[in-house]
Structure 1
Amino acid sequence: MPVGLLSLSTELLALIIAFAAEASPDLSRTSILCRLRLTCSRISASATPALFRSFILRPCDPSIARFHALLNDPSPFGPRSLVRRVVFESEVKQQHDDDCLGWSWEPELTELTREWYAAVSRLSELENVQHVYVRFAPTCLDTDDTGTGWIEAFPNSNVLNLRRGILVAVFKAIVGMRHSLRALSIENLLNFVDTTFTNKSCFTEVITSIQELHISIAADVDENDPANAFPLLPAIPRFWPSFASVWLAPASPRLISLTLYCNVEFGAVPYWQDCLSSTTASQDTAALAFPRLRSLTLGRYALAYESQLDDFLASAAVLPELRRLTLDDCPIVSHLSVSESD
């Protein structure tokens, strides 16, 4: 006897709708779910939570207006109660999208600073949000014809100041939430620890309270570039030891899930290796331990030393509760060629 779609259980129907929403290259996920909601009440009951589960706030007027409209709905059981994840984007990509068409990048956000920040500050009105996602552009620093023009503005460039303002606004909004945030994701975080931001109380409050941290690093600053020794600027500190001390160390006692990606390989050079090592910690990096961590995902983490795996698999002091280790695009290094200057 054939089984009709509407005779399936609610759980199966929800899974089918979720897959159907990702199936078309010509229509956005939002468009598909909106159309499914119009078919019948049974399908609408499953499509509606999927439609509002994640909300993306982009730096354009239509997206900002839609975010305010969502929050202004007076019904306590309206769409805003279904939102579980909020994505804050700092650029508008050229894509098929119901909100924004065209191309812009982060400096364009300055034209909408007041409106965008006002929308971000209303995050606490979404009472069921568990995950906040901040997505930056993959490239932060501009270069001139010589390839080193960025150094003249770094670390006080307008783009860096803008990114700092975005992070401060988002972290303050998280602090203002009525409940603790479970997960924080940041895409394309610049490989430069901005102490002006990390020294703020909102950073400390957020980073010490979350249970999941997922970060992808955009290595836009070349730490080995001779231009980094520019005499009028402070020396750029090695990123990974600073990142481990400032971001990972305060979060480590509560984390149950950690994801670290980078757009270039990291982990093989010693000063990158000690980012996740208790036995090779340098003077800049305290030994790390993750007493509650169950899931660890590393992307493009280069494996070159036995001690790197020892901390993951053999050391009960570092990862006593680890249940899942995912290595994505992680090369195994058999030889290293190091120049005399390095």
Structure 2
Amino acid sequence: MAISNIPGEILSAILAQLLEYQDYDDPKSHIYYGYLRDARLVCRRWNEFATAHLFRTLTLDVARENATMSWKGIINSGMIQQAARDIVICSHLSDAERDMGSDGEDWCDHDSSLYFSDAVRGIAKLPNLNSLQICFAKKCLGAREYRWWEEDEDTEPIWQRLQVLRAVFRAIRTRHAAVGRDNLPSAIRSLTLKNLQNIPIPQFTASELYKDVMKHVNELHLLIAHEFNEHGPDHDLDRLERQTYEPHLQRELLPPLAHQLRSLTLTFRECWGVIPGYFDGDGLVFPNLRTLTLGEFVIGHHNQFDWVLAQKSLETLRLDRCCIVSYLRVCDDDQWDRWHVPAHDWYEYPKGSFGFDDNGRTFGFSGTWETVYDRVREGLPELREFCSVHHRWSNTFDRRENMGASMSALRYITFDSGLCPSPWIEARYGPYGTGDMEFGNNDPAVCPSDATDRQRYTPEKPLNRAKETELGDRRAFEELLRAVWERR
């Protein structure tokens, strides 16, 4: 068959392979479009299909100077209007752009906000649009009881995030009205909120604007950011939203969407689900859910994965850096009293265990991945794809469709509220994937009262939950993969 006779669907699929990341090992790597641009020059037919891929995703960088004017010129192109399927709206400059001295400005500080709103309304001109992504800054300032550190230029405040959300949602609602009035072929069904701040915003989520837009959404992808002060000492763990956001997500944000969602991604930038906020998904049932992706979710109770197993319609389950916590330490009784953390299924060690000599509390959890894998295999009869990764340098939120399946030595983790910047301590991941842990001095025996600092704080014994559970976990993991493969 001559290349000119290749069916259009096949030619389009072939040309799509010309899109590739500049560096697959770099989670911040951008897509390289050079090969696709070259393909447009081959002939008119190749130009037609290559253009559809080249302009499938359009990006509006709010903070870039004159970005809104350039954007308006782009979406007035008839060719681009037909090609566009996805919109990415960035409300901030990336860290890399700031480092390079980009001349973008805070658009909310001047009349650029008006130009932005006008530019965003232009999405009504894109007839085939079905996906929209809003990317906020990673850094945010929460509801502090006091301020002991000034926010820097990279911090995107709550009020600015709300302005962006309202402007974009108004544009989406206007476009949805045009779908019925002007016979546009598609509504926006997929919504991605990247670096959404972990703080309830009832003034927005209870509004008719929010409800009008969300009733059309059947794919929701959330990457949750939390307040992070990189200049120590670090008190982020005690921020109020770290205790309240997960219950808000479980009881208020997700239930109204449960019956319409077919795909859901819940990823946090910090381990979540156990402490100081708690999430067990109790009462959440998504009858039409086909794909669920969890990122940084921690299992700390035997029933904590039950809500996932309750989604019997699941065909794809992806676990992105999800762990089981084996040992926990809350170093302050006041913290324990404030957090009201459920402690069922935990064994409490005596004072002095693991060398800890303060007034905190130390716990162990016996959960294993063997049990989780077996329950997934038996409890999700429609599951046809199971993915699991633990590499910290992976960027699987943006590339979740490419996620693989491996059983890593990082699958167990520990928690110590006395450490910063993060109380979550990964197992060691060297060239041989040892999985060795560090939790106090690694010895659950009570340390003598006259012990030296070396005896209290220096790990002398190996602590390796992954190695202890290797045989059972491996058996269950392989049986799960085999069962999923056979259902295809």
- 1:41 has 2:44 as partner: yes
Partner letter of residue 54 of structure 2?
Answer: L
Q: Secondary structure at the match of 1:311?
A: helix
Retained in 1: the 8 A contact 2:219–2:264? yes
Matched position secondary structure for 1:20: coil
Displacement of 1:122 in angstroms is 2.0
- Equivalent-residue separation in structure 2 for 1:226 and 1:50 (angstroms): 43
Distance 1:148 1:249 in 2: 37
Quick one: distance in 2 between partners of 1:321 and 1:67? 40
Q: Which position in structure 2 is the counterpart of 1:210?
A: 217
Please say if 1:258 is aligned against 2:261. Answer: no
The partner residue of 1:294 within 267, 290, 294 is: 290
Secondary structure at the aligned position of 2:194 is classed as: strand
Aligned-partner Cα distance in 1 for 2:2–2:134: 41
**Cα distance between partner residues in 1 of 2:93 and 2:10:** 34
Deviation at 1:227, TM superposition (A): 7.3
Which residue number corresponds to residue 232 of structure 1? none
Letter in 1 for 2:318: T
Please list, as runs of the form range in 1=range in 2, the aligned pairs for 1:167-178 lying within 5 A after superposition.
167-177=165-175, 178=178
Q: TM-score, normalised by structure 1?
A: 0.78
User: Contact (CA 8 Å) 1:81, 1:128: kept in 2 or not?
Assistant: yes
Q: Say which is worse superposed, 182-191 or 261-270, in terms of deviation.
A: 261-270
The aligned counterpart of 1:55 is 58
Of the three residues 316, 319, 323, the one matched with 1:327 is 319
Offset, 1:4: 7.3
Distance 1:244 1:150 in 2: 32
Which residue identity lines up with residue 43 of structure 1 in the other structure? W
Q: Is the 8 A contact 1:187 1:216 kept in 2?
A: yes
Query: For 1:173-252, what aligned pairs fall within 5 Å after superposition?
Result: 173-177=171-175, 178-179=178-179, 180-220=187-227, 225=236, 228=239, 238-252=244-258
* Residues in 2 aligned to 1:166 and 1:312: alpha-carbon distance in whole angstroms: 32
**Cα drift, residue 324 of structure 1:** 1.5
- Does residue 93 in structure 1 map to residue 101 in structure 2? no
Any conservation in 2 of the 1:148–1:227 contact (CA below 8 Å)?
no
Q: Secondary structure of the residue that 1:259 maps to in structure 2?
A: strand
Against the structure 1 CA distance between its residues 297 and 66, is the aligned structure 2 distance closer, same or farther, given a 3 Å change threshold?
Answer: same
Contact 1:141 1:150 in 2 (8 A): no
Return the alpha-carbon distance in structure 1 between the equivalents of residues 3 and 30 of structure 2: 22
Give the paired residue count.
306
Alignment-mate amino acid for residue 58 of structure 1: D
Deviates more, 1:103-112 or 1:14-23: 103-112
- Does 2:273 align with 1:267? yes
Aligned: 1:126 with 2:126? yes
Residue 35 of structure 1 and its aligned partner are, at CA, apart by 3.3
Structure 1 gap segments, 5+ residues each: 152-156, 230-234, 279-286
1:304 paired to 2:303:
no
Partner of 1:66: 70
Aligned to 2:160: 162
**Which secondary structure does the structure 2 equivalent of 1:302 belong to?**
strand
Aligned mates of 1:183, 1:138 — CA distance in 2: 22
Measured against aligned partners, the alpha-carbon deviations of 1:81-106 in whole angstroms (never above 9, x if no partner) come to 2211111111233769xxxx853677
> Which structure is larger by alpha-carbon Rg, 1 or 2?
2
Indicate if the aligned counterparts of 1:207 and 1:250 stay in contact, CA closer than 8 A.
no
Instruction: Please tell me whether the aligned partners of residues 198 and 242 of structure 2 are also in contact (alpha carbons under 8 angstroms).
Output: no
- Partners of 1:184 and 1:62 in 2: CA distance: 26
Distance 1:86 1:198, change over 3 A: same
Give the match for residue 428 of structure 2.
none
2:189–2:218 Cα contact (<8 Å) kept: yes
Cα offset, 1:260, TM superposition: 0.6
In structure 2, the residue matched to 1:29 is 32
**What secondary structure is seen at the aligned counterpart in 2 of 1:305?**
coil
Describe the SS at the equivalent of 1:241. Answer: helix
Cα shift readout 1:194-218 (whole Å, capped 9, x = no counterpart)? 2222222111222233101000001
Measured on the aligned residues, the alpha-carbon RMSD in Å equals: 3.3
Identity of aligned residues (%): 27
Rounded to whole Å, the distance in 1 between the matches of 2:205 and 2:129 is 23
CA–CA distance in 1 between the matches of 2:289 and 2:96? 37
Q: CA 1:237 to 1:303, structure 2 compared with 1: closer, same or farther past 3 Å?
A: closer
| Deviates further, 122-131 or 19-28 | 19-28
TM-score (norm: length of structure 2): 0.56
Letter of the 1:65 counterpart: M
8 Å contact kept, 1:87–1:135: yes
